[in-house]
């Protein structure tokens, strides 16, 4: 596999990555290391995992992190209600022969094991290695990160009652973070790292064209130019690529093939999601903004 | 030791050393991965080598600029590859400065207020506890720093989504433990177990004003921040001047002198002016509103003297107040008799402050510790 193959394959499956991100993805696949992606919300971090799964035809296993996530939700849990039922049944039929110990072995067998995303990703049998997306790892707490560390180092999980599950082929691991806090150094050390930037103007136009093919080229260019201008305003939440695409589609749905002040006014909520940001954009008037965007798009 | 420039692994290792020398923390393992990465991308195209290095050696966006600089220097042959690690010397900025300047701004040492009958035996700690930081000598500051380490700063507790086994028979049933227990009674779930929500301390975010007017206090408060960062994991510290500098990492060294030295180096706008509004805005944009300040106890250590726009400060304080659990403003000047929050910045910020406390002495920092954990 070459670098060019990666960039072509990503593009074929709907993702236009710049040189840095392409290299990072290539290295993650080639060196079989987890890839940690950080960047502003809406620059397309999560999308990387989805497009990798589409490309390799592997299953996408997603673990959304949140505060307080623990082993029972991330790795495995026992199916307690079935265990209880089994206990009752065993008791009713008097089937148990080996006493309490045998009963315990029966209860804690794979039959009653509920596989959560991390275990699932390690025990996927056939086919290409699955893509494991660990989304917004910065939302989870330190305890969970420490646990993750163990799994990512060995690609193995130990269930005390059953033994160790080890991945024959390690999954492709994509970890994303919005950087609300620093991910622990030990975790970073095991990962490749890439900071995902907002795309430049031409790439953004290409992305809009690719993701919203119905939108006219002119509109795509003008919308990208306007978003680029918004990012320079010092807003609370500068719009990401996701917003650009939404905005282009919204304008298209309203039957626009070019940007005008009236349309921007009514659709501003698809791209700027803070009242203060909208006020800031409107303060200098939307007409000059539209004019500037048209000019930038035309050049 | 001079390595022939043609040996590729020498060049790679030398490059990593240059990075370390420029201040990047590159673990040894990463050098190996870097070499593998360069081999994987081919190592003939300089741009690919650049990206291979950035993916494997850089782990924070702040470090990209340093990486770019070193990469340019090493790879374009501007400087020779560093062959030995220079022993790093830290300039202890704050400590070096403090004796000469820092005129005591307030003569009224509070220790007069403490009834002399209370102190049976003379204890330097007791005097130190109430002494104004501005009147501290270097040695006293060191002593105070030791005492600060005992403060045990902990954020107020909040309910966590994690659950813990409960001792009471109410709350959520704990099926896991119930089943486990049932095994002991031959499969009959005689005894039911329960869980209750766990409690965790909130994150504490310290924003320390390092402008000229705060100078006599900033070095003491920074030590307070250091004691807090070292003592607990969920504390974040920032220096606020004309710019915003995150100093959590710099302060995380256990050795106070190293930590102070590192922080002093990181803060470029030491004893400059303050534009509190702008600094807070940067904090809100880059860290606070995105998650760090959400549900946290945010402590601003500042005298409120501000050269910036008060409207901006009010706007940013409002934003911060909307996401934070509580906003505590620590103003060392508040201790002086007859103090009124007249400084423009202070007046603008006050409506969004939940607790307004003094922070001029050890005793007042103890109070602050209690306020934070409330």
Q: Mark whether A245 and A181 lie in a shared domain.
A: no
Q: Please give the average per-residue pLDDT across A114-119, as a whole number.
A: 93
- Give B248's contacts in chain A (Cβ within 8 Å): 182
Q: Mark whether A272 and A288 lie in a shared domain.
A: yes
This prediction's pTM: 0.73
Q: Name the residue in chain A with its Cα closest to that of B52.
A: A23
pLDDT of residue A98: 64
pLDDT of residue B93: 30
Q: Mark whether A128 and A190 lie in a shared domain.
A: yes
Chain B interface includes A64 (CB < 8 A): no
**Is A81 in contact with B175 (Cβ distance < 8 A)?**
yes
CB of A204 within 8 A of CB of A224? Answer: yes
Q: Mark whether A210 and A235 lie in a shared domain.
A: yes
Is the per-residue pLDDT at A66 higher than 50? yes
Distance from C-alpha of B288 to C-alpha of B325, rounded to nearest angstrom: 12
Query: Which candidate from A24, A83, A193 shows the least CB-CB separation from B179?
Result: A83
Distance from C-alpha of B282 to C-alpha of A282, rounded to nearest angstrom: 22
In a domain, A72, yes or no: no
- Give A138's contacts in chain B (Cβ within 8 Å): 291
Q: Mark whether A60 and A128 lie in a shared domain.
A: yes
Chain B interface includes A38 (CB < 8 A): yes
pLDDT in tens, chain B (374 residues): 444 445 677 888 888 998 988 888 888 888 889 988 988 888 778 888 899 999 999 988 888 888 998 888 887 764 444 333 333 333 333 333 333 333 433 333 433 333 333 333 344 555 666 777 777 777 777 777 777 766 667 777 777 777 788 877 777 888 888 887 877 776 677 778 888 888 888 888 999 888 888 877 887 888 888 888 877 668 888 988 878 888 888 888 777 778 888 888 887 777 777 788 888 998 998 888 878 888 899 999 888 888 788 888 998 999 999 889 999 998 888 877 777 777 778 888 888 999 888 888 888 888 888 888 87
Q: Mark whether A87 and A101 lie in a shared domain.
A: yes
The alpha-carbon gap from A256 to the nearest alpha carbon of chain B, in Å, equals: 33
pLDDT of residue B125: 57
- Give A103's contacts in chain B (Cβ within 8 Å): 183, 187
Chain A interface includes B232 (CB < 8 A): no
Chain A interface includes B179 (CB < 8 A): yes
Which CATH number belongs to the domain containing residue A49 in this structure? 3.40.50.300
- Give A6's contacts in chain B (Cβ within 8 Å): none
Letter string b/e over residues B84-116, b meaning 16 or more CB atoms within 10 A of that residue's CB? eeeeeeeeebbbeebeeebeebbeeebbeeeee
Inter-chain Cβ pairs, chain A and chain B, closer than 8 A: 116
Chain B interface includes A126 (CB < 8 A): no
Q: Which of residues 253-292 of B touch A (CB under 8 A)?
A: 284-285, 287, 289-292
**Is A81 in contact with B33 (Cβ distance < 8 A)?**
no
Q: Name the residue in chain A with its Cα closest to that of B285.
A: A236
pLDDT of residue A19: 92
- Give A20's contacts in chain B (Cβ within 8 Å): 51, 54-55
pLDDT of residue A133: 96
pLDDT of residue B77: 62
pLDDT of residue B112: 38
CB of B14 within 8 A of CB of B83? Answer: yes
In a domain, A262, yes or no: yes
Weakest-pLDDT range from A10-24, A166-180, B110-124: B110-124
Q: What range does the domain containing A262 cover?
A: 201-298
Q: Name the residue in chain A with its Cα closest to that of B319.
A: A236
pLDDT of residue B124: 52
- Give B294's contacts in chain A (Cβ within 8 Å): 180
Q: Mark whether A163 and A286 lie in a shared domain.
A: no
Q: Mark whether A191 and A233 lie in a shared domain.
A: no
**Is A27 in contact with B37 (Cβ distance < 8 A)?**
yes
Q: Mark whether A271 and A216 lie in a shared domain.
A: yes
Task: Domain count for chain A, please give it.
Answer: 3
The alpha-carbon gap from B2 to the nearest alpha carbon of chain A, in Å, equals: 30
Distance from C-alpha of A257 to C-alpha of A254, rounded to nearest angstrom: 9
Picking from A139, A163, A196, the residue at the C-terminal end of a domain is A196
Picking from A91, A111, A131, the residue at the C-terminal end of a domain is A111
HEC string of chain A? CCHHHHHHHHHHCCCCCCHHHHHHHHHHHHHCCCEEEEECCCCCHHHHHHHHHHHHCCCEEEEECCCCCCHHHHCEEECHHHHHHHHHHHHHHCCCCCHHHHHHHHHCCHHHEEECHHHHHHHCCCCCCCEEEEECHHHCCHHHHHHHHHHHHHCEEEECCCEEEECCCCCEEEEEECCCCCCCHHHHHHCEEEEECCCCHHHHHHHHHHHCCCCCHHHHHHHHHHHHHHHCCCCCCCCCHHHHHHHHHHHHHCCCCCCCHHHHHHHHHHCCCCHHHHHHHHHCCHHHHHHHHHHHHHC
Rg (CA), chain A: 24
The torsion angle over the Cα atoms of residues A9, A14, A18 and A21, rounded to 10 degrees, is -70
Query: Which candidate from A181, A185, A194 shows the least CB-CB separation from B292?
Result: A181
Residue A123, token pair as written in the block: 């025990």
Chain B interface includes A138 (CB < 8 A): yes
pLDDT of residue A265: 92
Weakest-pLDDT range from A90-94, A215-219, B114-118, B202-206: B114-118
| Largest CA-CA distance found in chain A, in angstroms, rounded | 84
The alpha-carbon gap from B83 to the nearest alpha carbon of chain A, in Å, equals: 24
**Is A20 in contact with B55 (Cβ distance < 8 A)?**
yes
pLDDT of residue B102: 38
Q: Mark whether A89 and A33 lie in a shared domain.
A: no
**Is A80 in contact with B55 (Cβ distance < 8 A)?**
no
**Is A23 in contact with B48 (Cβ distance < 8 A)?**
yes
- Give A27's contacts in chain B (Cβ within 8 Å): 37, 40-41, 52, 55-56
Q: Which CATH architecture has domain B204-372?
A: 3-Layer(aba) Sandwich (3.40)
pLDDT of residue A95: 63
Sign of CA dihedral A223, A224, A227, A232: negative
Picking from A148, A180, A196, the residue at the C-terminal end of a domain is A196
- Tens digits of per-residue pLDDT, A146-165? 888 888 888 999 888 888 99
pLDDT of residue B57: 92
In chain B, domain spans? 8-75, 161-199, 204-372
The ipTM is: 0.74
Q: What percent of chain A has pLDDT over 90?
A: 53
Q: Which of residues 148-207 of A touch B (CB under 8 A)?
A: 178-182, 185, 188-189, 192-195
pLDDT of residue A186: 86
pLDDT of residue B76: 72
In a domain, A116, yes or no: no
Is the per-residue pLDDT at A136 higher than 90? yes
**Is A31 in contact with B176 (Cβ distance < 8 A)?**
no
- Tens digits of per-residue pLDDT, A236-251? 888 999 999 999 999 9
pLDDT of residue B103: 40
Is the per-residue pLDDT at A25 higher than 90? yes
β-pair partners for A36: A175, A193
């Amino acid at each position: 596999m070459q670098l060019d193959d990666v960039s072509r394959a990503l593009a074929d499956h709907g993702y236009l990555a710049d040189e840095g991100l392409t290299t990072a993805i290539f290295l993650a696949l080639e060196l079989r290391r987890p890839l940690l992606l950080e960047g502003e919300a809406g620059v397309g971090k999560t999308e990387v995992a989805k497009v990798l799964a589409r490309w390799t035809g592997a299953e996408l296993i997603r673990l959304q992190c949140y505060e307080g996530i623990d082993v029972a939700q991330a790795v495995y849990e026992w199916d307690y209600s079935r265990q209880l039922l089994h206990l009752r049944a065993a008791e009713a039929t008097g089937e148990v022969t080996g006493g309490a110990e045998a009963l315990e072995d029966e209860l804690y067998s794979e039959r009653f094991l509920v596989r959560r995303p991390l275990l699932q990703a390690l025990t996927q049998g056939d086919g290409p290695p699955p893509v494991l997306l660990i989304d917004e790892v910065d939302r989870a707490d330190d305890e969970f990160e420490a646990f993750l560390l163990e799994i990512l180092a060995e690609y193995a999980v130990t269930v005390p009652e059953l033994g160790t599950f080890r991945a024959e082929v390690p999954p492709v691991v994509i970890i994303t973070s919005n950087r609300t806090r620093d991910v622990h150094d030990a975790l970073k050390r095991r990962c490749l790292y890439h900071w995902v930037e907002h795309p430049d103007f031409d790439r953004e136009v290409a992305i809009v064209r690719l993701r919203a093919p119905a939108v006219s080229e002119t509109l795509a260019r003008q919308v990208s130019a306007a978003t680029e201008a918004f990012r320079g305003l010092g807003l609370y939440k500068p719009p990401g690529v996701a917003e650009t695409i939404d905005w282009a589609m919204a304008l298209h749905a309203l039957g626009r093939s070019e940007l005008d002040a009236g349309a921007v006014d009514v659709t501003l909520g698809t791209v700027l999601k803070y009242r203060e940001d909208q006020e800031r954009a409107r303060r200098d008037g939307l007409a000059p903004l539209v004019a500037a965007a048209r000019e930038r798009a035309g050049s | 030791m001079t390595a022939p420039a043609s040996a590729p692994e020498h060049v790679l290792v030398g490059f990593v050393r240059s990075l370390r020398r420029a201040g990047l923390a590159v673990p040894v393992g990463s050098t190996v991965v870097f070499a593998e990465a360069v081999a994987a991308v081919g190592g003939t195209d300089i741009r690919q080598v650049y990206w291979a290095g950035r993916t494997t050696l850089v782990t924070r966006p702040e470090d990209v600029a340093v990486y770019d600089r070193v990469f340019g220097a090493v790879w374009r042959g501007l400087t020779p590859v560093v062959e030995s690690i220079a022993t790093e010397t830290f300039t202890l900025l704050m400590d070096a400065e403090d004796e000469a300047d820092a005129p005591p701004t307030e003569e009224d040492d509070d220790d007069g207020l403490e009834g002399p009958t209370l102190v049976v035996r003379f204890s330097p700690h007791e005097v130190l506890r109430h002494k104004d930081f501005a009147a501290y000598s270097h040695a006293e500051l060191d002593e105070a720093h030791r005492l600060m380490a005992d403060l045990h700063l902990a954020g107020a507790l909040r309910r966590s989504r994690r659950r813990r086994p409960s001792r009471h028979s109410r709350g959520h049933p704990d099926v896991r433990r119930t089943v486990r227990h049932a095994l002991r009674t031959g499969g009959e779930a005689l005894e039911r177990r329960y869980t209750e929500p766990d409690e965790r301390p909130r994150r504490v975010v310290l924003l320390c004003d390092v402008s000229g007017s705060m100078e006599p206090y900033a070095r003491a408060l920074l030590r307070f921040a250091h004691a807090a960062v070292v003592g607990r994991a969920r504390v974040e510290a920032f220096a606020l001047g004309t710019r915003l500098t995150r100093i959590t990492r710099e302060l995380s060294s256990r050795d106070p002198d190293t930590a102070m030295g590192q922080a002093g180096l990181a803060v470029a706008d030491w004893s400059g002016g303050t534009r509190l509004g702008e600094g807070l805005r940067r904090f809100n944009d880059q860290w606070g509103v995105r998650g760090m300040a959400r549900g946290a106890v945010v402590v601003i250590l500042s005298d409120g003297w501000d050269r910036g726009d008060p409207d901006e400060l009010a706007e940013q304080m409002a934003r911060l107040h909307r996401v934070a659990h509580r906003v505590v403003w620590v103003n060392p000047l508040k201790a002086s008799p007859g103090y009124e929050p007249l400084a423009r910045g202070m007046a603008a910020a006050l409506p969004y402050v939940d607790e307004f406390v003094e922070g001029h002495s050890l005793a007042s920092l103890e109070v602050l510790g209690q306020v934070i954990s409330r």
